[in-house]
């Protein structure tokens, strides 16, 4: 069964049949029926009879004898009815069926199905037309509804996800006008990214004009304070429109014909408790044009649309997650690569790789959520300093910033400088400043493959120190290969290390801390060294940063503590170990205690050294306090090179401070007691004595420095002049001579 067509063809102007000789008002048993509609006409098409059911159906008190029956047919259906009449008269005695609408008082729309049969006289000549019918309005609407919903479902399943919601809403509006045939026009509003409702589809209105109007969710026409289908009348619309500004009201009452609408069926589309769209169906003739079935059909259509929109939301979220980091919301490498692969106009581009040296340390100290917060804060600051079209991505370890329109290195330098300034600002709730980022920069033409551009930026980054920006050059490739070799060799060395400090590539060296007056060793400092079979001794400045970037320092630090505890037990002297940021987690105190128990030493025999910046982290201070309460001496390394204040110094559970080597370098080879550095040294010694702290001077490399410090009252020192770091075997022999 086809749905009611929207077009209305014109009626042919002609008479149907010659006059019928049948008498008026013949009696018939069909008067008793309540649902079968019976009408007879003469051959000219004038009424000669109608039963009571028909009169009630049409709202008539009596039959208008002599009127043309075709006048009680909807104009759009008259040509089709006339054609069926002609077929019935041409073939008397046969039944011909036709469906059409009839204008009924008090009813906005109706549909009925009729059987036309030509009645003949004894000679076999047609003398009248008998029409029997019944109302199919509800059945017709149900069939239309089922057909449209089936078509919509099929379209949804075949097109798949990722369809623009606007195209879907336009199709839904077309289906709604067929499902609710009383509707004479309609429109759809969709909630946009700005949170306002915008007209995106219209039938019977100028969509281009309506699209210039948007409605706030708090405004009555967009929400009408309802989440179910409702019918509004002309007074409601007038009251709603009176509450918005004159400019939009003029559009709605002009091209939107709001002043002519007598009934509006407003259908909200609710997705997860939020109204996402509104479907409006309008009738210009009657306030009671829509009935309960119209509301039910429109609501079911809205439910279907809500499911489709939710499906689209899920698809969009999945696509967003595919291209963005789920924790920080920043673009990921997938989106960066898609952007690099996308066609673009001529011109160069720059790719910046940024590494934050403190991220791993912050995660260890504050937990993974703090790391996410720092990444989000840094990402926000980076975006504040770049153009709107520049792309910032995060791959879990580093930031990537893609700049278009950069042809020369000098054009990227202002961006780098802005990044330095913005990232130099303290991060809220972080006790100490973060280390400035390292930046690697690669320049490329539109023909540069994306993978090559990323590799070049990574090569430049691998050579950049914190706070430094390095541009890629071909010579850096060799440096990257060297670093890759070091990483692989260090991994093998860590995998092959042995419990003994004298075996394997990784081992501990020991440097004594002596009494300056008599040369007696007070304790030893354990220093990690790597001796490669073919490359010899590799400086700690080369492999320690590599181990930190690879996340191996926690494991190496634990091994170092275990070896230091064993050395202290063997030699009967305290041993100091430097703690890295990655070790200062909640489990460190118990791990250190376990190593001491295994070695059979007390906590006072294992000294733990930390730098100023590390010791002042709030999370680190709690761990250090726990270690001090267990009896481990804590020493503050490189004192004077960090950010300590006297107030902070008094809160730390430390027993000694080690003056950084810079103090002695500033003193020179022939120290002068009245120089600024000499006065600072004297003040620090007095400060340490006042606080009950030992003061250890590092970097003593000449006899002159040794004598000067001794004369100034310093008690403890460390340096090449007093003793170089040596292997465990040589350290044991040295201790036999010194003790």
% of residues, the chain, pLDDT over 90: 34
pLDDT for the residue 11: 33
Residue carrying the six token digits 């119209």:
294
Backbone angles phi, psi at 352, to 5 degrees: -105, 130
Residues ≥6 apart with Cβ < 8 Å to 599: 562, 565, 566, 568, 569
Q: Is the pLDDT of residue 89 over 60?
A: yes
Residues ≥6 apart with Cβ < 8 Å to 512: 521, 522, 523, 524, 525, 718, 722, 723, 734, 738
The answer to whether 670 and 706 are in contact (CB under 8 A) is no
Q: Is the pLDDT of residue 219 over 80?
A: no
- Each residue's pLDDT tens digit, 441-493: 999 877 778 888 998 898 889 888 888 888 988 776 666 677 778 888 888 88
Helix (H, G, I), strand (E, B) or coil at 522: strand
Banded model confidence at residue 500, pLDDT cuts 50, 70, 90 = very low
Banded model confidence at residue 20, pLDDT cuts 50, 70, 90 = very low
DSSP state of 529: E
Backbone angles phi, psi at 98, to 5 degrees: -155, 145
Angle at which helices 540-550 and 476-496 cross, to 10°: 80
Other Cβ atoms within 10 Å of 34 Cβ, number: 8
pLDDT for the residue 26: 46
Spatial separation of the C-alpha atoms in residues 643 and 660, rounded to whole Å: 13
Q: How far is CA 632 from CA 364, 596, 601, 623, 657, in A?
A: 21, 10, 11, 12, 15
Q: Evaluate if pTM is beyond 0.75.
A: no
Structure tokens given for 694: 């030992």
Backbone angles phi, psi at 418, to 5 degrees: -65, -40
Helix (H, G, I), strand (E, B) or coil at 242: coil
pLDDT for the residue 23: 37
Spatial separation of the C-alpha atoms in residues 379 and 423, rounded to whole Å: 10
The answer to whether 510 and 728 are in contact (CB under 8 A) is yes
Spatial separation of the C-alpha atoms in residues 374 and 696, rounded to whole Å: 36
Banded model confidence at residue 157, pLDDT cuts 50, 70, 90 = low
Backbone angles phi, psi at 168, to 5 degrees: -65, -40
The answer to whether 150 and 237 are in contact (CB under 8 A) is no
Lowest mean pLDDT among 24-38, 328-342, 527-541, 565-579: 24-38
Q: String of b and e for 7-23 (b: at least 16 CB within 10 Å)?
A: eeeebeeeebbeebebe
Banded model confidence at residue 641, pLDDT cuts 50, 70, 90 = low
Spatial separation of the C-alpha atoms in residues 159 and 723, rounded to whole Å: 79
pLDDT for the residue 164: 62
Q: Is the pLDDT of residue 317 over 50?
A: yes
Beta bridge mates, 521? 514
Backbone angles phi, psi at 486, to 5 degrees: -60, -40
Spatial separation of the C-alpha atoms in residues 264 and 284, rounded to whole Å: 9
pLDDT for the residue 499: 43
Spatial separation of the C-alpha atoms in residues 400 and 442, rounded to whole Å: 11
Dmax (CA) of the chain: 151
The answer to whether 122 and 100 are in contact (CB under 8 A) is no
Degrees (nearest 5) of the Cα angle 394, 399, 402?
A: 95
pLDDT for the residue 24: 42
Q: Is the pLDDT of residue 1 over 50?
A: no
The answer to whether 177 and 186 are in contact (CB under 8 A) is yes
The answer to whether 182 and 108 are in contact (CB under 8 A) is yes
Backbone angles phi, psi at 389, to 5 degrees: -85, -5
Backbone angles phi, psi at 484, to 5 degrees: -60, -40
Other Cβ atoms within 10 Å of 85 Cβ, number: 23
Angle at which helices 553-571 and 728-738 cross, to 10°: 30
Beta bridge mates, 230? 266
Residue with the larger pLDDT of the pair 15 and 525: 525
Spatial separation of the C-alpha atoms in residues 269 and 254, rounded to whole Å: 26
**Intra-chain end-to-end CA distance of the chain, in Å:** 110
Spatial separation of the C-alpha atoms in residues 470 and 477, rounded to whole Å: 13
Banded model confidence at residue 578, pLDDT cuts 50, 70, 90 = very high
Helix (H, G, I), strand (E, B) or coil at 474: coil
Q: Is the pLDDT of residue 623 over 50?
A: yes
Which runs of E-coded beta strand occur in 423-485? 438-444, 469-471
Structure tokens given for 587: 């489990």
Angle at which helices 165-179 and 137-159 cross, to 10°: 160
Residue carrying the six token digits 């009127």:
67
Residues ≥6 apart with Cβ < 8 Å to 735: 521, 571, 573
Backbone angles phi, psi at 291, to 5 degrees: -115, -175
Spatial separation of the C-alpha atoms in residues 131 and 645, rounded to whole Å: 106
Query: Mean pLDDT across the stretch 380-391?
Result: 86
Average predicted confidence (pLDDT) for the chain: 83
Banded model confidence at residue 10, pLDDT cuts 50, 70, 90 = very low
Residue carrying the six token digits 């090569």:
459
Spatial separation of the C-alpha atoms in residues 610 and 212, rounded to whole Å: 65
Torsion of CA 536, 542, 543, 546, to 10 degrees: -150
Spatial separation of the C-alpha atoms in residues 243 and 216, rounded to whole Å: 12
Q: How far is CA 13 from CA 7, 16, 144, in A?
A: 19, 10, 31
> What burial class does residue 440 get, using C-beta atoms within 10 Å of its C-beta: 0-12 exposed, 13-18 middle, 19+ buried?
buried
- Each residue's pLDDT tens digit, 292-315: 889 999 888 888 888 888 887 787
Spatial separation of the C-alpha atoms in residues 716 and 712, rounded to whole Å: 12
Structure tokens given for 407: 């042809």
């Amino acid at each position: 069964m086809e749905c009611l067509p929207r077009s209305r063809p014109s009626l042919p102007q002609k008479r149907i049949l010659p006059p019928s000789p049948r008498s008026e008002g013949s009696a018939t048993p069909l008067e008793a029926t309540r649902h079968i509609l019976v009408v007879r006409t003469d051959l000219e098409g004038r009424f000669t009879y109608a039963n009571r059911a028909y009169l009630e159906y049409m709202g008539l008190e009596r039959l208008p004898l002599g009127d043309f029956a075709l006048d009680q047919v909807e104009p759009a259906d008259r040509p089709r009815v006339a054609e069926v009449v002609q077929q019935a008269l041409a073939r008397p005695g046969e039944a011909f069926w036709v469906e059409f609408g009839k204008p009924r008082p008090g009813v906005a729309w109706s549909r009925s199905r009729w059987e036309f049969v030509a009645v003949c006289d004894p000679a076999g000549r047609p003398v009248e037309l008998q029409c029997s019918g019944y109302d199919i309005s509800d059945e017709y609407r149900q069939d239309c509804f089922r057909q449209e919903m089936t078509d919509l479902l099929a379209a949804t399943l075949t097109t798949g996800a990722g369809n623009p919601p606007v195209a879907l809403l336009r199709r839904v509006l077309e289906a709604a006008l067929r499902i609710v045939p009383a509707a004479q026009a309609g429109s759809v509003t969709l909630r946009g990214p700005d949170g306002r409702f915008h007209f995106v589809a219209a039938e019977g209105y100028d969509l281009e004009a309506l699209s210039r109007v948007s409605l706030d969710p708090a405004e009555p026409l967009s929400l009408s304070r309802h989440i179910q289908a409702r019918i509004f009348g002309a007074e409601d619309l007038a009251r709603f429109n009176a509450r918005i500004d004159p400019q939009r009201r003029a559009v709605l009452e002009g091209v939107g014909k709001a002043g002519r609408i007598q009934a509006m069926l407003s259908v909200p589309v609710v997705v997860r408790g939020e109204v996402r769209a509104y479907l409006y169906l309008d009738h210009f003739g009657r306030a009671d044009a829509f009935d309960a079935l119209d509301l039910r059909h429109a609501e079911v259509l809205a439910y279907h649309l809500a499911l489709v929109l939710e499906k689209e939301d899920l698809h969009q979220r999945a696509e967003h997650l595919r291209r963005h980091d789920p924790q920080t919301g920043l673009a990921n490498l997938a989106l960066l690569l898609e952007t690099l692969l996308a066609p673009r106009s001529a011109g160069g581009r720059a790719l910046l790789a940024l590494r934050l040296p403190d991220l791993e340390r912050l995660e260890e100290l504050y937990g993974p959520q703090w790391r996410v917060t720092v990444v989000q804060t840094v990402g926000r600051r980076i975006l504040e300093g770049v153009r709107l079209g520049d792309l910032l991505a995060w791959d879990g370890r580093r930031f990537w910033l893609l700049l278009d329109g950069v042809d020369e290195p000098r054009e990227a330098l202002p961006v780098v400088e802005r990044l330095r300034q913005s990232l130099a600002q303290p991060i809220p709730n972080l006790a100490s400043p973060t280390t400035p980022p390292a930046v690697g920069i690669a320049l490329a033409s539109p023909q540069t493959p994306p993978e090559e551009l990323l590799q070049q930026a990574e090569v430049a980054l691998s050579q950049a120190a914190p706070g430094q920006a390095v541009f890629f050059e071909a010579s850096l490739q060799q440096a990257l290969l060297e670093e890759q070799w070091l990483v692989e060799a260090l991994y093998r060395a860590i995998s092959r290390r042995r419990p003994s400090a004298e075996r394997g590539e990784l081992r501990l060296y020991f440097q004594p801390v002596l009494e300056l007056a008599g040369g007696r060793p007070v304790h030893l400092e354990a220093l990690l060294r790597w001796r490669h079979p073919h490359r010899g001794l590799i400086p700690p400045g080369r492999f320690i940063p590599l181990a930190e970037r690879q996340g191996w320092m926690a494991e190496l630090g634990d091994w170092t503590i275990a070896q230091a505890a064993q050395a202290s037990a063997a030699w009967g002297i305290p041993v100091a170990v430097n703690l890295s940021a990655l070790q200062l987690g909640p489990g460190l105190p118990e791990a250190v205690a376990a190593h001491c128990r295994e070695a059979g030493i007390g906590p006072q025999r294992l000294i733990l050294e930390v730098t100023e910046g590390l010791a002042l982290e709030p999370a680190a201070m709690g761990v250090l306090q726990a270690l001090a309460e267990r009896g481990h001496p804590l020493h503050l390394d490189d004192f004077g090179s960090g950010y300590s204040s006297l107030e902070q110094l008094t809160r730390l559970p430390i027993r000694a401070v080690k003056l950084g080597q810079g103090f002695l370098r500033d003193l020179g080879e022939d120290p002068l007691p009245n120089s600024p550095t000499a006065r600072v040294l004297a003040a620090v010694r007095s400060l340490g004595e006042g606080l009950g702290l030992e003061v250890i001077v590092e970097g003593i490399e000449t006899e002159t420095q040794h004598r000067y410090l001794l004369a100034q009252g310093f008690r403890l020192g460390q340096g090449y002049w007093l003793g170089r770091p040596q292997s465990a075997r040589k350290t044991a022999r040295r201790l036999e001579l010194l003790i």
